[in-house]
Amino acid sequence: MFLHILNEDQRRHFFSLAIRMVLTDGEIKIEEINYINQLVSDSGIPGQVSLGQSVETPDLTRFDSHDVRLAVATELMIIAHVDERVHNLETALFKGVVSAFDISDSELVELKNLAGDCAKAFRDGWTLINA
C-alpha cells in the first residue's frame, strides 16, 4: 500500500522484514499470503518473493527518512493484523524494528489504528470477491 515511496533497495529490505513478520508466529495464514502477494505485485520488484526463501537480516539503516520508516512500520503492522490475530511474537518483532526508528508515541497509535483498518478492508475485499 505504501511501498511506492521506498526505493528498490529499501523494498528488498522491507520484504525481508515482511517475511519475518509472516513467519514469526509459526503460522502462515492465507490472508498473510494474499497481502504479501499484493505487496509484491504493487512493489514492481522483478522476480518473486517467497515465504520459503532464506531471510537475510535486514539493515534498518536503509530506511533513512521518516516517511519511509512510517511506511515500513505501517506495512508491518498491517501484516500482523491481516489474519485478525496479532501474536505476541509479531508484537515483539514490530517493537524491535520501530525502536530503531524515530517514531513518536502518537504516530505509533495512529499507524496501529490505520493498520487495523487497512487489514480489515483487505480481508473484507477478499471476502466479497470470494463470496
With cut-offs at 50, 70 and 90, classify the pLDDT of residue 42. Answer: confident
Domains and CATH numbers, the chain: 3-129 (1.10.3680)
Task: Please give the Cα distance from 89 to 121 (Å, whole number).
Answer: 24
Q: What is the pLDDT of residue 64?
A: 94
Written as one letter, the residue type at 101 is F
Asked whether the beta carbons of 79 and 21 are under 8 A apart, the reply is: yes
Amino acid symbol at 43? S
pLDDT tens digits along 46-83: 555 665 555 667 789 999 999 999 999 999 999 999 99
Q: What angle do the packed helices 88-98 and 66-81 form, to 10 degrees?
A: 180
User: What's the confidence (pLDDT) of residue 50?
Assistant: 60
Determine the average pLDDT of the residues in 77-93.
Answer: 92
